[in-house]
Amino acid sequence: MAPRKTATVSSRKTAAKPAAKASNGGPVADFDRNEELKAYREMLLIRRFEEKAGQLYGMGFIGGFCHLYIGQEAVVVGMQMAQKEGDQVITAYRDHGHMLATGMEARGVMAELTGRRSGYSHGKGGSMHMFSKEKHFYGGHGIVGAQVSLGTGLAFANRYRGNDNVSIAYFGDGAANQGQVYESFNMAALWKLPIVYIVENNRYAMGTSTARATAQSNYSLRGSGFGIPGIQVDGMDVRAVKAAADEALEHCRSGKGPIILEMLTYRYRGHSMSDPAKYRSKDEVQKMRSEHDPIEQVKARLVEKGWASEDDLKAIDKDVRDIVADSADFAQADPEPDASELYTDILL
Ligand SMILES: Cc1ncc(C[n+]2csc(CCOP(=O)(O)OP(=O)(O)O)c2C)c(N)n1
Ligand SMILES: [Mg+2]
């Protein structure tokens, strides 16, 4: 692998202080005020959206499965900040954050969650099956690991067409043990496909901890048998994610083939809405929330550097809450699909 680029910190600003590092010692991007504000707003939008989705689920407005992304927001937001127009995103069922990060509308996502006509899949896909060709978001997949093969196919298409787009395939620590992941790694390495494989290591696959289920828990090493380089990233620090994303995307765009980013992250809520959470202690969750929360980290920097006052932050919070409330009102007022739509938009 090419030598790691260090954090893009200008020497002028850091002459007196050592360069900032992520909690695992990795590099972090040197965000300016606008980038910090953007990261804050985008992560907050995902968090508030997910909280609202949880509420609507409890009230019976959302049926079926619903997997919340709360706690993991820095991963998709940091990645998206490094992507360029045309890069594709594909993920599993914990997907609402990925959709919002790609710029899909909160209204369309909420309407889909509630099974309404204006949803991204016309109310017939639900939480796990939403797509937006316009935003290059390819789903939303409920079969654990399947999106890794599909994402590899997207990378193959980029290579075949000779464009410089990169496919970004997200999967969990549990999915990382699926066989098709390694078949995909083999092909991607052989054909030098432009794909960033992102393992969102949130420490659990449903109720099973990585310690109980996995022989090699350093997922950044999982491509070593195929010569695929990997980086372990503090996935709770959006600047660390952005720094790793810049490096990974450059690696792919320069024709060096696939790369793995293992994002060390944590989900605060249960696996899905029906999770009694008996497999971990409340203290463990509380410790992550109070010491590593991705949104609080940005907020603290914004305040410390004098880049945002409490009032500025409140204004952003209000703006975000308005978008989310509007999406919920819109979804509830939107009609369900007509019965005549039962066999449209599907493959028979
Ligand atoms: C092929 C397949 N096997 C099993 C399941 C059931 N299942 C759904 S989610 C899940 C756990 C996956 O965990 P992980 O990949 O870590 O993702 P996370 O939920 O933590 O985001 C399992 C086993 C499934 N949907 N598909
Ligand atoms: Mg997991």
316 within domain boundaries: yes
Cβ-proximal residues to 122 (8 Å cutoff; 6+ apart), any chain: 337, 341, 344, 345
Output the tens digit of pLDDT for each of the chain's 348 residues: 444 443 444 444 555 677 899 999 999 999 999 999 999 999 999 999 999 999 999 999 999 999 999 999 999 999 999 999 999 999 999 999 999 999 999 999 999 999 999 999 999 999 999 999 999 999 999 999 999 999 999 999 999 999 999 999 999 999 999 999 999 999 999 999 999 999 999 999 999 999 999 999 999 999 999 999 999 999 999 999 999 999 999 999 999 999 999 999 999 999 999 888 899 999 999 999 999 999 999 999 999 999 999 999 999 999 999 999 999 999 999 999 999 998 998 887
44 within domain boundaries: yes
63 within domain boundaries: yes
109 within domain boundaries: yes
Q: For residue 10, how far is its CA from the centre of ligand 2 (angstroms)?
A: 36
Cβ-proximal residues to 12 (8 Å cutoff; 6+ apart), any chain: none
For ligand 1, what atom is nearest to the CA of residue 72? Answer: 21
4 within domain boundaries: no
Ligand 1 pocket, residue 181 CB under 6 Å: no
pTM (whole model) above 0.85: yes
For atom 5 of ligand 1, the residue with the nearest CA is 144
For ligand 1, what atom is nearest to the CA of residue 200? Answer: 21
339 within domain boundaries: no
61 within domain boundaries: yes
Q: For residue 92, how far is its CA from the centre of ligand 1 (angstroms)?
A: 9
**How many domains in the chain?**
1
The ligand placed nearest to the CA atom of residue 170 is 1
In 3D space, the residue among 177, 83, 62 whose CA is nearest the CA of residue 127 turns out to be 62
CATH number at residue 168: 3.40.50.970
Name the token pair of 2. 């090419």
346 within domain boundaries: no
**Domain residues for 241?**
33-334
Cβ-proximal residues to 301 (8 Å cutoff; 6+ apart), any chain: 31, 36, 307
- Tell the burial category of 182 from Cβ atoms under 10 Å away from its Cβ (0-12, 13-18, 19+): middle
Q: How many residues does the chain have?
A: 348
Q: For residue 67, how far is its CA from the centre of ligand 2 (angstroms)?
A: 11
